[in-house]
Amino acid sequence: MSASLENTTILVVDDDADTTHLLRTILEQAGASVVTADSVDAALDAIRRCPPHAVITDIRLGNSDGYALIRSIREINSEYKGFTPVIATTGYASPDDEARAKEAGFAAYVSKPFDPTKIVGMVRTIVTRPINRVA
């Protein structure tokens, strides 16, 4: 894997330690700096401390979910006039799940298990593409 994510900070949000470790390893090997969180509250604290270039979050997070997280991220983005792209990951993939994720504002949707090269490519794509926002 090439170091294609240098100078990029990615927040990984998952309540499964193995998945978090795997994503951290994949992204760090690609050159990214990785911050991790295991809950929506911890993720929001991390975002407020140091806004990442992108977020990768599991849809199902203990007592909450990735949908609550993306709503909160969009509120923070609105407050600070920024935009943080978010990738959804899930072990429960169906066309309906993917449609719901895209409708909620996720930039991409990946089912587990995922291909490391695909994850790196997705992150690279979402952090480098122009942002199309409605004013």
Residue pair 119/110 in contact (Cβ under 8 Å)? The answer is yes
How confident is the model at residue 95, as a pLDDT? 83
Q: Which two tokens stand for residue 133?
A: 């926002």
What's the CA dihedral at 15, 131, 25, 113 to 10 degrees? 60
How confident is the model at residue 62, as a pLDDT? 78
How confident is the model at residue 131, as a pLDDT? 58
End-to-end CA distance of the chain: 37
Most confidently modeled range among 11-15, 64-68, 72-76, 130-134: 11-15
At the topology level, CATH places domain 9-124 in: Rossmann fold (3.40.50)
How confident is the model at residue 115, as a pLDDT? 92
How confident is the model at residue 133, as a pLDDT? 45
CA distance 20 to 70: 18
Section 29-57 average pLDDT? 94
More confident of the two residues 32 and 75: 32
What's the CA dihedral at 8, 111, 24, 13 to 10 degrees? 80
Section 121-127 average pLDDT? 92
Check whether 130 has a pLDDT greater than 70: no
Detail the DSSP E strand segments found in the chain. 9-13, 33-37, 54-58, 60-61, 64-65, 86-90, 108-111
How confident is the model at residue 134, as a pLDDT? 39
pLDDT by residue (tens digit) across 62-113? Answer: 788 889 999 899 888 777 667 889 999 988 778 888 888 889 989 999 988 8
Q: C-alpha 103: how far from its chain's center?
A: 16
pLDDT band at 114 (very low <50, low <70, confident <90, very high): confident
CA distance 19 to 25: 10
